[in-house]
Amino acid sequence: MKFYLSVFCWILFSGISRAGKPLALKSGASTLSIIQINKKFGIRLQLSNDSYQQLKPMALEIVDQNGSALWIEQAYDNVRQRNGTFYCTGELKTANGSTFSFKDIYKTAAATGSFEVERTVKVTFADVRDMGFSTRIAFQRPVKSTMSDYDFFVPAVWYKDNKNVSPAALASNLTDNDYWFREDRLPLPLMMLRQKSTGVTFSVFHKNADGATFTGENGLDRVTDGRMKFASVGMCNNRQPLVGILYPGTEGERTGVRGMANTKRWAYRSHPVTLNYMQNYKLAISLTKENDYLTTLKNTWNRYYHIQNPTLYPVDLEKVYAQHISILNQYWRQVNNTAGVPFRIKVGGTAADADYNWNMGFVGQEIANGALLIREGLNTSDNELKGKGEQIIDFWADKSLAPSGIPRIWYDPYPQTWRKIPTHLRNLGDGMNGLLYAWNLEKKKGVDKSNWLKTAGKVANWLLSVQNTDGSFYQQYDYSSGAVTNNTKNNTSNVVPFLVDLYNITGTDKYKQAVLKAGNFIYKDIYKNFKYAGGAADNPNVPDKEAVSMALRAFLALHDLDKDARWLDAAKQAAYYYQTWVYSWNVPIPQDDADAIFPKKRSVTGLSLIATGNNFADSYAAIDAFNIYRVYLYTNDKNLLSFSKLLLRNTKQYVNWNPNDPIPGFAPGFLGEALTVTIAR
């Protein structure tokens, strides 16, 4: 009896079943199994003939009192299986004698075709010569390869081979060895890589991520502190990718801490080697086979978005709208026979402190703001409000066109002068969209603002005169001479909705033919090349969120025009890519951070990263809640439905709309322009 009992216990802990086969768990098409290594144990995740494995799963970086750091790695001492779960344990000891117990629990997450790993590390003996530690749980592909063998995905950081990012951006150089990213800069804390030749895709996600830190954790020097709860996700080894999580979140070999830089830098983070100090964190991992990059991107994001299940926050949208109209009304001014709303407003200031200059589109949105005043004036029979909006638009319709026919985009009413900056297609597109929206509002009430429509026609005719033979438009033009000042073509999508609307209003065929030519260009340049760059006029020609926003609206407008299915395919891709720029988990703002304006009781979900190569986020994606909803109606993708609601509601977390939870220094309805969710906030 004793003999059988001892053999049974050895079988449970050896990783070998009673039938002599390795212990294994199944989820989706992949298998997680125990592998035996010289009386110790590792983990293998396998799909057909491809695998990712951990030969030495217990990995710990120890930092001694002199600041020297060393990685210690070892296989598990013991493994047992019970009720479809692996329990893996072991102990690591440093050269100074500090000991760390590891307990890793593996189980299936069948609903998402993934596996879950929960790790607990405890300091069981602390030697004073050891000061800090961090741990890593990561899976490695055993086959040697090159970085060009893979397409990558890290939200708002790394898409495919990242060839369009600036030299200062993270993951800008694929000859680096280490790519670890603080999760508080990521819309979801995940990384994915897909083998181009086989479609086999491995991804890792930090489940139930906390993201907590404190104000002193804001530099490039190593920080050792138990208050840090954020991890980093990423990989090392550019020949045999080792992909997973570092805890706490060391970032390197390039970092955005203290701003992006075109140099290799590390921001090391450690927890204290203190008796009984404990780490606990969870991962979800997945190994699948995908047909193409878009499918991989969509499925990876949807899988982990489903696991994260971001909270949709209640918000009184009618109150938000009313407050915003009130702000436009309150800050509207006549200055030297012109009218408008300020470009920016000082936090805690008054109208007297505001910056009164008129910017057609982009951040200024003068014409669109005028259209909103007209809309509300018509809806409420408030002729004063309507008149204020009409004065704004009359100025642009009557005064903005240069003799060349190019619209000028930025005016200073005091002193009265047009700023000598090129006309950017982004500003032009925003402005003309607002102009036609305002014209249509009036037309529905029986009022024909012919000067507005005439201006739109002149701008369109100028656009047609400079359209390239491939259907594209250049990004910027000098309004005095008409000369091209930036010959990139990334902003062609920005004027597509305007030309579609003008064709729908006038029925003029040349506008339809021109916009179809432009559509053919962006279909090849944006959709086929998966290239969404140059949307933000002040951060041009790098991958960014506003470029995909513009592309989404352009492809939907083209589909409205002729119902061609390829435009809808392109709109779907844009929607799936768009999601990956919007925070879908909450990064807590440190309670001790007196400089952080973002309210500490609210969630950053709904904020969206602006561009690769910087740390800033804003609420811009609110503009596309309905456009994402439209794509949901075409696809029945429930994640898109949830995402559209997130854009509708959670983007108001940075708006001072709730008197019971005010934002200090913000008047009712004020919206913060931008912030850094990652340090320093």
Q: At residue 586, does pLDDT exceed 60?
A: yes
Q: Give me the mean pLDDT over the 364-377 stretch.
A: 98
pLDDT reading at 540 higher than 90: no
- What tokens does 178 get? 């280490």
7 pLDDT above the threshold of 80: no
Query: What pLDDT, on the 0 to 100 scale, is given for residue 22?
Result: 57
Query: What integer is the mean pLDDT of 25-45?
Result: 96
Please give the CATH number for the structural domain made up of 2-308: 2.70.98
Instruction: Give the model's pLDDT for residue 408.
Output: 98
Q: Measured between alpha carbons, how far is 453 from 59 in angstroms, rounded to an integer?
A: 67
Query: Would you kindly state where each structural domain of the chain is located, as residue ranges?
Result: 2-308, 317-676
pLDDT tens readout for residues 422-465: 999 999 999 999 999 999 999 999 999 999 999 999 999 999 99
280 near 210, Cβ under 8 Å?
no
Q: Could you tell me which of 351, 449, 462 has the C-alpha nearest to residue 405?
A: 462
Tokens at residue 589, please?
Answer: 């703002």
Position 6 pLDDT exceeds 90: no
Domain 317-676 belongs to what topology? Glycosyltransferase (1.50.10)
Q: Is 507 left (phi over 0), alpha (psi -120 to 50) or beta?
A: left
The pTM score is 0.95
Q: What is the pLDDT of residue 2?
A: 39
> pLDDT tier at 597 (50, 70, 90 boundaries)?
confident
Percent of the chain with pLDDT strictly greater than 70: 97
Total residue count of the chain as it appears in this document: 681
What's the confidence (pLDDT) of residue 346?
A: 81
Please, are residues 129 and 65 in contact by the beta-carbon 8 Å criterion?
yes
* pLDDT on residue 21: 55
Q: Is the pLDDT confidence value at 353 over 50?
A: yes
593 pLDDT more than 90:
no
Query: Is residue 556 over pLDDT 80?
Result: yes
Residue 18 has a pLDDT of 41
Average pLDDT of the chain is 94
* Confidence band, pLDDT 50/70/90 cuts, at residue 681: confident
| Tokens describing residue 79 | 């493994």
Say if residue 468's pLDDT is above 70.
yes
Neighbouring CB atoms inside 10 A of 26's CB total 13
Q: Which residue has the higher pLDDT, 11 or 246?
A: 246
Does position 13 have pLDDT exceeding 80, yes or no?
A: no
Asked whether the CA dihedral 257, 576, 498, 532 is positive or negative, the reply is positive
d(CA 298, CA 307): 14
Question: What is d(CA 520, CA 492) in angstroms, rounded to the nearest whole number?
Answer: 11
- Tell me the per-residue pLDDT of 632-656, one tens digit each, with 9 for 90 and over: 999 999 999 999 999 999 999 999 9
For the chain, what is the largest distance between any 2 Cα atoms, rounded to a whole number of angstroms? Answer: 101
Euclidean distance between CA atoms 96 and 657, whole angstroms: 56
Q: Is the pLDDT of residue 160 over 70?
A: yes
Question: Is the per-residue pLDDT at 188 higher than 70?
Answer: yes
Q: Is the pLDDT of residue 10 over 70?
A: no
